[in-house]
């Protein structure tokens, strides 16, 4: 059994060990702050070298942040365009090769009987809408504009998410009575009428007059579907004026759930091929198109990030070169430090700390500059490409954190070899170095 004296000695020994540990830790922190102060003194004494090192890694970090932002915006814009059209839509379009004599009418291979056939034989569909789209001149007063004219039904408003700004949309009476009425896109209405209310006015489309009954709200252009520049008329009126009979150009089908669209594509293809006796049409859905575009956008973004990482690597090589030059210039200083008691570990840590601090400063400035650069690039691209939806920079704390950590890691790796070279310099040789 332990005696009281032995217990007291053991406790005293434990206190000594604990106090020694605290002193060692305190000494370590003091040494760390000494290294930090020494690094800042070195930076202030060699401003140009420090500036060039920080500039190189800043550009690399800014490139990473900016390219990630631009890639994210491109991806978001593509997905937004497709989703704006509706991911629950299935499209059927004729693929008949048009004749040179009458290229527009000769490709109209689908008809209203096909639409009714699909309506009766398909389950769980929400809307089925026929469409004919062609180019014609629309006139009002002295204004003459070549625009897309779309003949369709009242259900087009729901499949294409169209909203009315002024007036009304097409209705069943317009279709049944072959009325000469039209609904104009926002931009088209402004080009024809300026600030005047178009509702009730008469315009000419080709050689036929139409009464404007409504104007659509502005809608972001999605792929080739820009309803801001389009005029919509009853499909029955168009068929009668052009002697098309029951011919139509496209059939659009909307489902209740986007997940129903891909299986519906296969079902439509099989049933309509049997109905026609041949496959003279194309059928696709936005969901499949969305997945394909999303994969393309992801590859594009990965490519952008890869280029950014290469720029980080180049910045790291710049740090390594500058640190190697620093080791050569400070050989005598290293010898003096070694002579007064500095260990190889101290020298190694000193140079690693300097490389890391340069990287951290470059990373912070790079994030700030990259943010401004990314916003500028996206703004310029939106202006040049004339996007109806302005690209807004997509920023995430994850991007900043990943960029900062990557820069620090690059700095440590780039500074390790010069720091190692500095740590193995022999004191005698260093003191003799000129």
pLDDT single digits (tens) 340-353: 777 788 878 888 88
In angstroms, the CA 151 to CA 180 distance is: 11
- Give the CA count within 13 Å in the CB-facing half-sphere of 108: 19
pLDDT single digits (tens) 239-297: 999 888 888 888 988 888 777 878 888 888 888 888 888 787 888 877 666 666 667 76
The segment with the largest mean pLDDT, out of 173-182, 313-322, 421-430, is 173-182
Neighbours of 43 (CB within 10 A): 18
pLDDT single digits (tens) 66-91: 777 777 776 666 666 666 665 678 88
pTM (predicted TM-score): 0.58
The pLDDT score that the predictor gives to residue 85 is: 60
The pLDDT score that the predictor gives to residue 168 is: 95
Average pLDDT, integer, range 214-226: 76
The pLDDT score that the predictor gives to residue 203 is: 95
- The first and second tokens of residue 239, run together, are 């068929």
The pLDDT score that the predictor gives to residue 35 is: 63
Confidence class for position 19, pLDDT limits 50, 70, 90: very low
In angstroms, the CA 129 to CA 305 distance is: 43
Q: Is the pLDDT of residue 208 over 80?
A: yes
The pLDDT score that the predictor gives to residue 142 is: 87
The segment with the largest mean pLDDT, out of 177-181, 251-255, 416-420, is 177-181
Confidence class for position 28, pLDDT limits 50, 70, 90: very low
In angstroms, the CA 416 to CA 68 distance is: 28
Distances (CA, A) of 153 to 199, 205, 221, 241, 263: 19, 18, 21, 16, 26
In angstroms, the CA 69 to CA 370 distance is: 9
Confidence class for position 39, pLDDT limits 50, 70, 90: low
What value does the mean pLDDT of the chain take? 78
The pLDDT score that the predictor gives to residue 23 is: 43
By percentage, how much of the chain surpasses pLDDT 70?
Answer: 74
Q: Is the pLDDT of residue 12 over 60?
A: no
Contacts of 124 (CB under 8 A, 6+ apart): 255, 256, 260
Q: Is the pLDDT of residue 101 over 60?
A: no
The pLDDT score that the predictor gives to residue 215 is: 95
Q: Is the pLDDT of residue 300 over 50?
A: yes
Rg (CA), the chain: 36
Contacts of 218 (CB under 8 A, 6+ apart): 165, 186, 187, 228
Burial of 412 (0-12, 13-18, 19+ CB in 10 A): middle
Q: Greater confidence, 419 or 76?
A: 419
- The first and second tokens of residue 184, run together, are 């104009």
Q: Greater confidence, 227 or 399?
A: 227
- The first and second tokens of residue 254, run together, are 């909307």
pLDDT single digits (tens) 369-410: 887 877 777 777 666 665 544 455 556 677 788 778 888 888
**HEC sequence for the chain:** CCCHHHHHHHHHHHHHHHHHHHHHHHHHHHHHHHHHHHHHHHHHHCHHHHHHHHHHHHHHHHHHHHHHHHHHHHHHHHHHHHHHHCCCEEEEEECCCCCCCCHHHHCCCEEHHHHHHHHHHCCCEEEEEEEEEEEEEEEECCEEEEEEEEEECCCHHHHCCCCEEEECCCCHHHHHCCCCEEEECHHHHHHHHCCCCCCCCEEEECCEEEEEEEEECCCCCECCECHHHEEEEEHHHHHHHCCCCCEECEEEEEECCHHHHHHHHHHHHHHHHHHHCCCCEEEEEHHHHHHHHHHHHHHHHHHHHHHHHHHHHHHHHHHHHHHHHHHHHCHHHHHHHHHCCCCHHHHHHHHHHHHHHHHHHHHHHHHHHHHHHHHHHHHHHHHHCCCCCCCCCCCCHHHHHHHHHHHHHHHHHHHHHHHHHHHCCCHHHHHHCC
Label the pairing between strands 247-248 and 202-205. unpaired
Confidence class for position 9, pLDDT limits 50, 70, 90: low
In angstroms, the CA 174 to CA 182 distance is: 10
């Amino acid at each position: 059994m332990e005696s009281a004296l032995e217990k007291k000695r053991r406790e005293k020994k434990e206190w000594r060990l604990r106090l020694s540990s605290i002193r060692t830790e305190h000494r370590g922190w003091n040494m760390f702050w000494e290294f930090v102060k020494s690094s800042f003194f070195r930076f202030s004494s060699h401003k140009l070298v420090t500036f060039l090192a920080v500039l190189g890694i800043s550009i690399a970090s800014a490139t990473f942040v900016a390219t990630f932002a631009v890639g994210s915006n491109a991806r978001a814009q593509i997905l937004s365009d497709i989703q704006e059209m509706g991911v629950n839509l299935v499209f059927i379009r004729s693929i008949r090769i048009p004749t040179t004599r009458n290229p527009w009418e000769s490709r109209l291979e689908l008809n209203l009987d096909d639409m009714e056939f699909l309506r009766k034989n398909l389950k769980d569909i929400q809307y089925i809408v026929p469409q004919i789209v062609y180019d014609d001149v629309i006139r009002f007063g002295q204004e003459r504009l070549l625009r897309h004219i779309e003949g369709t039904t009242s259900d087009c408003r729901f499949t294409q998410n169209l909203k009315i700004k002024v007036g009304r949309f097409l209705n069943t009476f317009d279709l049944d009575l072959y009325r000469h009425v039209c609904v104009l896109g926002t931009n088209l209405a402004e080009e024809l009428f300026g600030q005047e209310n178009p509702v009730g006015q008469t315009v000419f489309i080709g050689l036929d007059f139409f009464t404007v009954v409504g104007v659509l709200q502005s809608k972001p252009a999605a792929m080739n579907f820009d309803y801001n520049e389009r005029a919509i008329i009853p499909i029955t009126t168009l068929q009668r004026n052009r002697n098309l009979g029951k011919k139509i150009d496209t059939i659009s089908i909307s489902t209740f759930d986007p997940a129903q669209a891909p299986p519906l594509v296969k079902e439509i293809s099989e049933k309509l091929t049997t109905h026609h006796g041949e496959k003279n049409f194309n059928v696709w859905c936005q969901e499949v198109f969305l997945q394909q575009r999303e994969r393309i956008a992801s590859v594009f973004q990965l490519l952008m990030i890869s280029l950014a990482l290469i720029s980080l690597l180049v910045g790291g090589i710049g740090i390594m070169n500058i640190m190697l030059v620093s080791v050569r210039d400070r050989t005598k200083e290293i010898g003096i430090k070694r002579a007064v008691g500095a260990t190889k570990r101290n020298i190694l840590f000193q140079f690693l700390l300097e490389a890391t601090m340069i990287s951290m400063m470059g990373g912070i400035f790079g994030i700030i500059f990259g943010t401004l650069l990314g916003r500028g690039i996206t703004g310029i691209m939106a202006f040049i490409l004339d996007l109806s939806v302005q690209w807004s920079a997509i920023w995430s704390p994850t991007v900043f954190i990943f960029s900062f950590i990557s820069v620090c890691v690059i700095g440590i790796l780039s500074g390790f070899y010069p720091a190692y070279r500095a740590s193995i310099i022999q004191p005698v040789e260093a003191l003799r170095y000129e």
